[in-house]
Amino acid sequence: MKTRDKILLASLELFNERGERNTTTNHIAAHLAISPGNLYYHFRNKSDIIYEIFQEYEKLVDYYLVIPDDRPLTVADMTFYLESVFDGLWSYRFFHRDLEYLLDCDPRLRSDYRDFTNRCLAAMKTIFEKLAEAGIVQEQPEELREVMALNIWLVVTNWMAFLKTAHGSTGDEGLSLTALKQGIYQVLTLEMPYLMPEYRDEVLAIREKYRPVLPEQRDSVVA
Amino acid sequence: MKTRDKILLASLELFNERGERNTTTNHIAAHLAISPGNLYYHFRNKSDIIYEIFQEYEKLVDYYLVIPDDRPLTVADMTFYLESVFDGLWSYRFFHRDLEYLLDCDPRLRSDYRDFTNRCLAAMKTIFEKLAEAGIVQEQPEELREVMALNIWLVVTNWMAFLKTAHGSTGDEGLSLTALKQGIYQVLTLEMPYLMPEYRDEVLAIREKYRPVLPEQRDSVVA
DNA sequence: CTATTATTAGAGTATATACTCTACTCAGTC
DNA sequence: GACTGAGTAGAGTATATACTCTAATAATAG
């Protein structure tokens, strides 16, 4: 594997584990057992590394959110969208953690991220539309779809942060797959009132699979 | 005004404007035209300043969320809760911006914040309960109230961040009161499906007042 | 084999950051 | 009028951070 790619990979790993703020370029180099000079041979600066990682993230999510235009959407599609998006979010979780600072540092990133957000919101709106066409959710006015999409976006992008702040101790330890998936439960709860009777039970059954074992795990998960 | 209080005030101001990460103790001292030594005479370290500001924030929100137990809740109460919470959020907006890092730095803060979150969620659940008793929203199972409260919490606490990231350029300039209040619109949209027919129109009229002028302001607000 | 280019090491730098230390002032008090 | 102690100034420190520079080595092309 090329050094350049190794740098990207190690950066992502360290950013996710310890936060971008706590990860210096020297740390990254040390982690790979290469010299700082070497790192700066491959990247002009730290921002460039972050920018490139963002672009991967963007590509991944765009790929996940492709909407078939030759067939109606199914409940399975909806589940897949949710699962995928949370997976993507998990893989690049450092990004949403320090989002505001990162955008302040890099105007390119700010404008790209804005476009990215709008693209995601638009995709969500289309998904709603097609779910309505498929008779899974009720038809809704354009405007409501828009506001709903935004609410779901807020829940999805901040679910991870909530888990990390609401739970005990410091790090990732407490963040299990179960907890992660409770995010899907949250989103499906938002959609619930809009489900068509014919599909209501099916979707509720899926939702049930993501229900947290404990109603609310408010204690530290560490032993 | 005592130097100590001036430090707290200036810190909050600078944190909100430029972010905690971009505000050093030296900046704070310079802003007040006092020496760094003086600042450190009043506070052991930066964390202590932040912790104390958080306690103010906590007190304010706790005060806002007091629930009357001698009378049923009204639609006006609900509006007041929403308005107040967004005001509080605005006054201490730096806090949610760098939340994860701040909690990593200070275990006291982490545990206090966890309690604070739980208190807020509990208050929201109680508010739902009392709104149902008052016939404003439908009775819901305990579990649904809990999940709904959490969704609203996510929308409320991250609304500001969304505005700052989704809009153009860098700073606060774009963040108008109108934009801020669109957050209330988002929350009321979440509640909409659960409104009782008798109050539906009244609440929808209130919601309408917070509707953004433009459906989606996706351009930079700066001239 | 040679020339060129890509890659790397590693010491070094300028700047910033959180924080300390010493000394001074000045209001109140015995 | 000496004494105390809260309050303040301001220079100073240890450390870290992002990044640079030079020189050496590996890879590759002609």
Find the Å distance, CA of residue B104 to C1' of nucleotide D21: 37
Q: Is A69 on the interface with B (CB under 8 A)?
A: no
Instruction: Give the separation between CA B56 and CA B51, rounded to whole angstroms.
Output: 9
What is the per-residue pLDDT across B142-179, written as a single tens digit (0 to 9) for each?
Answer: 999 999 999 999 999 999 999 999 876 544 556 777 78
Looking at the structure, do residues A28 and A89 belong to the same domain, yes or no?
no
Mean pLDDT confidence for B94-106: 93
Q: Is the pLDDT of residue A178 over 60?
A: yes
Instruction: Give the mean pLDDT of A11-20.
Output: 94
Residue A220: inside a domain = no
pLDDT value of residue B16: 94
Q: φ and ψ at A141, to 5 degrees?
A: -60, 145
Q: From the CA of B3, how many Å to the C1' of D6?
A: 12
Say if residue A36 is in the same domain as residue A52: no
Return the residue of B nearest to A144 by Cα: B189
One domain, residues B1 and B83: no
Give the Cα separation of A142 and B55 in Å (integer): 42
What burial class does residue A205 get, using C-beta atoms within 10 Å of its C-beta: 0-12 exposed, 13-18 middle, 19+ buried?
Answer: exposed
71-90 of A, contacting B, C-beta below 8 A: none
Could you tell me if B104 and B189 lie in one domain? Answer: yes
Average pLDDT over residues A142-151: 96
The reported pLDDT for the residue numbered B222 is 41
Q: Where does residue A74 rank: exposed (0-12), middle (13-18), buried (19+ CB within 10 A)? A: middle
> Is B189 within the bounds of a domain?
yes
Given an 8 Å threshold on Cβ–Cβ distance, is B161 in contact with A114?
no
Asked if B212 is an interface residue toward chain A (Cβ–Cβ < 8 A), one would say no
Q: Which of the residues A17, A106, A114 would you substitute to probe the B interface, choosing the one with the greatest number of B C-beta atoms within 10 Å?
A: A114
Residue B222 forms part of a structural domain = no
Whether residue B5 is predicted with pLDDT greater than 60 in this model: the reply is yes
Find the helix packing angle between B177-191 and B142-166, rounded to 10°. 150
**Inside any domain, residue A215:** no
CA-CA distance, B82 to B84, in Å (whole number)? 5
Vertex B157, ends A88 and B63: CA angle to 5°?
A: 155
d(CA B201, CA B154): 26
Residue B100's contacts (CB-CB under 8 Å, 6 or more residues apart) are: A19, A97, A161, A164, A165
| Domain assignment of residue B180, given as a range | 46-209
Q: Which residue has the higher pLDDT, B221 or B187?
A: B187
Q: Is the pLDDT of residue A37 over 50?
A: yes
Q: How far is CA B183 from the centre of its chain?
A: 10
A103 touches chain B (CB under 8 A): yes
What pLDDT, in 10s, does the model give residues A43-75? 999 999 999 999 999 999 999 999 999 999 999
Q: Retrieve residue B51's tokens.
A: 């912790």
Q: Within this chain, do residues A134 and A90 fall inside the same structural domain, yes or no?
A: yes
In angstroms, the CA B100 to CA A151 distance is: 22
Q: Given pLDDT bands bounded at 50, 70 and 90, which one contains residue B217?
A: very low
For B183-216, write each residue's pLDDT tens digit: 999 999 999 999 999 999 999 999 999 998 764 4
Look at residue B216 and tell me if it is in a domain: no
Q: Determine if strand C comes within 7 Å of the CB of B162.
A: no
Whether residues A66 and A118 share a domain: the answer is yes
What φ, ψ does residue B220 adopt, rounded to 5°?
Answer: -60, 145
Q: Same domain for A33 and A51?
A: no
Residue of B nearest to A106 (CA): B170
Shared-domain flag, residues B33 and B138: no
Torsion on CA atoms B79, B82, B84, B87, rounded to nearest 10: -130
pLDDT at B130: 97
Q: What is the CATH number of the domain that holds A101?
A: 1.10.357.10
How do residues A95-131 score in pLDDT, each as one tens digit? 999 999 999 999 999 999 999 999 999 999 999 999 9
In a domain, A100, yes or no: yes
The tokens describing B11, both together, are 């810190």
Report residue A214's pLDDT band, with 50, 70 and 90 as the boundaries: low
- Classify residue B221: in a domain, yes or no: no
Query: Does the structure show a pLDDT above 80 at A215?
Result: no
Mean pLDDT value of segment B71-93:
95
Interface test with A, best of B22, B114, B115 (most A CBs within 10 A): B114
Tally A–B CB contacts below 8 A: 116
Mean pLDDT of chain A: 91
pLDDT of residue A13: 95
Contact between B46 and B177 under an 8 Å Cβ cutoff? The reply is no
Contact: B158, A159; criterion CB under 8 Å = no
Two tokens at A194?
């809009």
- A156 and A187 Cβ atoms separated by less than 8 Å: yes
- Predicted confidence at residue B213, as pLDDT, reads 75
Cα–Cα dist A129/A11, whole Å = 38
Give the CATH number for residue B20. Answer: 1.10.10.60
Binding residues for strand D (Cβ < 7 Å): A 22, 24-27, 36-37, 40, 44-47; B 2-3, 33-38, 40-42
Q: How many residues does chain B have?
A: 223
Closest CA relative to residue B217, chosen from A146, A75, A198: A146
Beta bridge partners of A137: A195
B166 touches A: beta carbon within 8 Å: yes
Looking at the structure, tell me whether residues A2 and A93 fall in a common domain: no
- For residue B150, the chain A residues in CB contact (below 8 A) are 162, 186
Task: Identify nearest nucleotide to residue B38 by CA to C1′ distance.
Answer: D8
Q: How far apart are CA A206 and CA A184, in angstroms?
A: 10
Strand C, nucleotides < 7 Å from a protein CB: these are 7-12, 16-22
* Inside any domain, residue B63: yes
Number of C-alpha atoms within 13 angstroms, CB side, residue B168?
Answer: 8
Chain B CB contacts of A97 below 8 Å: 100-101
User: Domain count of chain B?
Assistant: 2
Q: Is the same domain home to B150 and B136?
A: yes
Q: Do residues B73 and B135 share a domain?
A: yes
The gap between A220 CA and D19 C1' (Å) is 40
Choose the weakest-confidence range: A171-180, B91-100, B116-125. A171-180
- Let me know whether A102 and A204 are in one domain: yes
Alpha-carbon distance of B211 to A130, in angstroms, equals: 26
